């Protein structure tokens, strides 16, 4: 009577534990002992399901990236205009909701630092950044067009929103008490809105009505 493999559950159990421990202690502080204790498993078992600590980290990074994407997509599915989709993105990243993993933000900050040292993590991290930039760029472009504005400096704008997001994570991790609660999403939305308002109008006579038909679901 062969035993049923439970590796998938165990792996996610361990990855979850790493996320929680890392959020508090960083990667270096996330000892196998600590991960084992948090997950309620024996230390040796960690290495049965993962070759080494690094492999857990890589899986955590992938998990967080996938989950962030999922959060956006769930919200974007309900959006119909470019502005709503951008707002969905901002909320997915910066607003708290029922689907928030409290540790995920802190863990992501730690991962950003670990990316400096670890080539594998850096690769995933940069892939995530690149994909995020492309997504934001598209969202912004659609908003600008919908607003009848010229499309300029998209790359910088996307980078800026990403920087803002990452920085908001850092402050949330380190200085939560010092910043207004929940400021990030609201301010980001206003920032973008006013930035777009400040852009040059397209020469079109009826920009809004003309552009609206172009809107599509992402």
Partner DNA sequence: CATGAATGAGGATTCATTCAT
Partner DNA sequence: CATGAATGAATCCTCATTCAT
**Which residues sit at the interface with a second copy, rule CB under 8 A?**
23-29, 106, 109-110, 112-117, 122, 125-126, 129-130, 133, 153, 155-157, 159-160, 162-171, 173-175, 177-180, 183-184, 186-188, 190-191, 193-195, 197-198
Name the DSSP letter for residue 199.
S
Locate 163 and state its tokens.
């920087």
Range list of H helices, 30-101:
32-39, 43-49, 53-76, 82-94
- 1 vs 205 by CB, closer to a second copy: 1
Locate 142 and state its tokens.
């659609």
d(CA 148, CA 159): 22
Q: Considering CB under 7 A, how many residues would be counted as binding DNA?
A: 26
- 59 vs 166 by CB, closer to a second copy: 166
We find the least distance from the C-beta atom of residue 42 to DNA, in angstroms, to be: 3
- Asked if 56 and 16 touch (Cβ cutoff 8 Å), the reply is no
d(CA 197, CA 176): 31
Q: Would you list the DSSP string of 145-160? A: HHTTB----HHHHHHH
Piece in contact with DNA (CB under 7 A), picked from 1-9, 69-77, 96-104, 198-206: 1-9
Tell which one of 15, 16, 33, 97 touches DNA (CB under 7 A). 33
Tell which one of 17, 18, 22, 30 touches DNA (CB under 7 A). 30
d(CA 103, CA 166): 15
**Binding marks (x or -) toward DNA, 45..84, rule CB under 7 A?**
xxxxx-xxxx------------------------------
- Torsions phi, psi for 119 (to 5 deg): -65, -40
- 44 vs 203 by CB, closer to DNA: 44
- 43 vs 97 by CB, closer to a second copy: 43
Q: Does 41 bind DNA (CB under 7 A)?
A: yes
We find the least distance from the C-beta atom of residue 107 to DNA, in angstroms, to be: 16
- 41 vs 202 by CB, closer to DNA: 41
- CB pairs under 8 A, 24+ apart, for 73-79? 74/99, 76/218
- Asked if 199 and 144 touch (Cβ cutoff 8 Å), the reply is yes
Q: Does 117 bind DNA (CB under 7 A)?
A: no
We find the least distance from the C-beta atom of residue 34 to DNA, in angstroms, to be: 7
- Asked if 113 and 49 touch (Cβ cutoff 8 Å), the reply is no
- 74 vs 150 by CB, closer to a second copy: 150
């Amino acid at each position: 009577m062969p035993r049923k493999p439970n590796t998938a559950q165990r792996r996610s159990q361990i990855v979850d534990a790493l996320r929680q421990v890392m959020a508090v202690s960083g990667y270096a502080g996330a000892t196998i002992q600590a991960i084992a204790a948090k997950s309620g498993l024996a230390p040796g078992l960690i290495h049965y399901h993962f070759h080494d600590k690094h492999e857990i980290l890589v899986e955590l990074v992938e998990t967080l990236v996938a989950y962030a994407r999922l959060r956006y997509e769930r919200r974007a599915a309900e959006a119909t205009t470019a502005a709503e989709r951008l707002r969905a993105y901002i909320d997915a990243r910066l607003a708290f909701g029922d689907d928030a993993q409290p540790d995920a933000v802190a863990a992501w900050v730690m991962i950003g630092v670990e990316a400096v040292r670890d080539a594998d993590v850096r690769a995933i991290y940069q892939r995530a950044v690149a994909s995020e930039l492309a997504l934001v760029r598209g969202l912004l472009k659609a908003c600008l067009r919908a607003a009848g504005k010229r499309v300029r400096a998209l790359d910088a704008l996307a980078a800026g929103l990403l920087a803002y997001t990452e920085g908001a994570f850092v402050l949330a991790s380190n200085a939560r008490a010092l910043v207004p609660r929940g400021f990030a999403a609201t301010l980001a939305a206003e920032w973008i809105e006013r930035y777009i308002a400040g852009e040059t109008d397209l020469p079109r006579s009826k920009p809004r009505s003309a552009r609206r038909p172009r809107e599509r679901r992402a």
